[in-house]
Amino acid sequence: MEATSLAWLAAGLGAGLGVIGAGLGIGRLAGSAMEGMARQPQAAADIRTGMIIAAALIEGVAFFGEIVCLILAFKS
Amino acid sequence: MSTEAATHAVEHSAKFDMAEMLTHHMVNSQELEMPWGTIHLPTLDLFGYQLPVTRHAVMMWVASSLALIIMVWIAQRARLVPGKAQSLLEMVVVFIRDEVAIKNMGEEDGRRWTPFLLTTFFFIFFCNVLGMVPFAASATANISVTGAMALLTLVLIHGSGIARFGIIGHWKNYLPPGLPGWMFPISMLLFVIEVLGTLFKSFALCMRLFANMLAGHMIVLSFLGLIFVIGYVFVPVSVGLALFIGFLELLVIPLQAYIFTMLTSLFIGMSLHPAH
């Protein structure tokens, strides 16, 4: 197997695994946020703001891996 | 963006190359593609340096001019009872001053740093928004632009600390407090970890903004490119998905500008008011 083919394979696998991590993390976050909002509706606005900020930060981490996969995918 | 892809497909009716199309649209170049033709940007020769004027540089100038014109326009028409545009602007400015600057940096420092944070927020916001405009590009989809902004944050983190506490005093703030002398290697390790932490935080700021902007445009381009791979029957699905991603990007654009600004103010606040 040449290096380029391995790079493309790694790009595909890495992208999928990165998405698993981000999905799990943000899913847990959203679940806890929903539960908190259900328990205390008057705190819903604060919880929602914190949830969106935390989701953006978790997504940032996932994007690091995706950028590495992009670099691999455009190898020639 | 999609209009350029269509023009290209008509021009190069050879085999469609997805990777080439993606790199052509995402990578910076010295060509501005307008509906009436392509404008080739010059390379300035200043003080012996070759400075190429690129598409993303022009987009940064457009974003800054847009922000400047809008702010000056609204501020010069300021009334005691605000109109619609002034209320909108005041909402954002007061939000950044109260929730971001004062909350992270305290009362007097927050007020002093508010103009810088507002500049950061609106520059990133307008740069991102230009990515949604046809025939324009988002300058923040260029790692040099976000890297420069993250480097500015890093310089400000240490510079503000050094300006307040002195050169020795600022680095002393990174040592854990009150450990006995024999734990010197451990406190050295913690010191290195904390200082490297500031580097990594700035790097994360750069990558987060860059990847968010790049990924959004790349997804839309990929969906539209699939039309040329699969066939014209795929158009409704492709355009629908691209539209959905466009809506998502409308949320991401102000959110990423706000996150960059908030994290910058948080880090500078941590440097100005060290926990120990």
Residue-wise pLDDT for B155-173, tens only, equals 999 999 999 999 988 888 8
Mean of the per-residue pLDDT values of chain A:
91
What is the distance in angstroms between the Cα of A24 and the nearest Cα belonging to chain B?
A: 19
pLDDT higher than threshold 70 for residue A21: yes
Question: Is the CB of B207 less than 8 angstroms away from the CB of A67?
Answer: yes
- pLDDT-derived band at B79 (thresholds 50, 70, 90) equals confident
What is the distance in angstroms between the Cα of B152 and the nearest Cα belonging to chain A?
A: 19
The per-residue pLDDT for B30 is: 87
Report if pTM > 0.90.
no
pLDDT higher than threshold 90 for residue B63: yes
Pairing of the two strands B31-34 and B37-40: antiparallel
What is the distance in angstroms between the Cα of A63 and the nearest Cα belonging to chain B?
A: 6
A43-54 pLDDT tens trace: 998 899 889 889
The per-residue pLDDT for B9 is: 52
The per-residue pLDDT for B14 is: 62
For residues B42 and B48, what is the distance between their CA atoms, to the nearest angstrom? 15
Neighbour tally for A67: CB within 10 Å: 17
Residues of chain B with C-beta less than 8 angstroms from the C-beta of A14: none
What is the distance in angstroms between the Cα of A23 and the nearest Cα belonging to chain B?
A: 16
Give me the percent of chain B exceeding a pLDDT of 70. 93
Of B211, B259, B262, the CB nearest to A63: B211
Q: Which of B29-38, B76-85, B102-111 has the highest average model confidence (pLDDT)?
A: B102-111
The per-residue pLDDT for B276 is: 61
pLDDT higher than threshold 90 for residue B42: no
The per-residue pLDDT for B39 is: 85
Question: Is the CB of B211 less than 8 angstroms away from the CB of A67?
Answer: yes
* Short-list B213, B210, B265, CA closest to B95: B265
CB-based contact, B123 to chain A, within 8 Å: no
B230-271 pLDDT tens trace: 888 889 989 999 999 999 999 999 999 999 999 999 999 999
Domain ranges of chain A: 31-70
Higher pLDDT, B4 or B135: B135
Question: Is the CB of B211 less than 8 angstroms away from the CB of A57?
Answer: no
The 3 state secondary structure assigned to chain B is CHHHHHHHHHHCCCCCCHHHHHHHHHCCCCEEEECCEEEECCEEEECCEEEECCHHHHHHHHHHHHHHHHHHHHHHCCCCCCCHHHHHHHHHHHHHHHHHHHHHHCHHHHHHHHHHHHHHHHHHHHHHHHCCCCCCCCHHHCHHHHHHHHHHHHHHHHHHHHHHHHHHHHHHCCCCCCCCHHHHHHHHHHHHHHHHHHHHHHHHHHHHHHHHHHHHHHHHHHHHHHHHHHCHHHHHHHHHHHHHHHHHHHHHHHHHHHHHHHHHHHHHHHHHCCCC
Structural domain including B73 reads: 2-40+49-272
Token couple for B23: 């790199």
Sign for the pseudo-dihedral over CA of B23, B26, B29, B32: positive
User: How many domains, in total, are found in chain B?
Assistant: 1
The per-residue pLDDT for A44 is: 92
B173-189 pLDDT tens trace: 888 776 666 777 788 88
Residues of chain A with C-beta less than 8 angstroms from the C-beta of B210: 67
The per-residue pLDDT for A14 is: 94
Predicted-assembly ipTM surpassing the 0.85 threshold: no
B178-230 pLDDT tens trace: 666 677 778 888 888 989 999 999 999 999 999 999 988 988 988 888 888 88
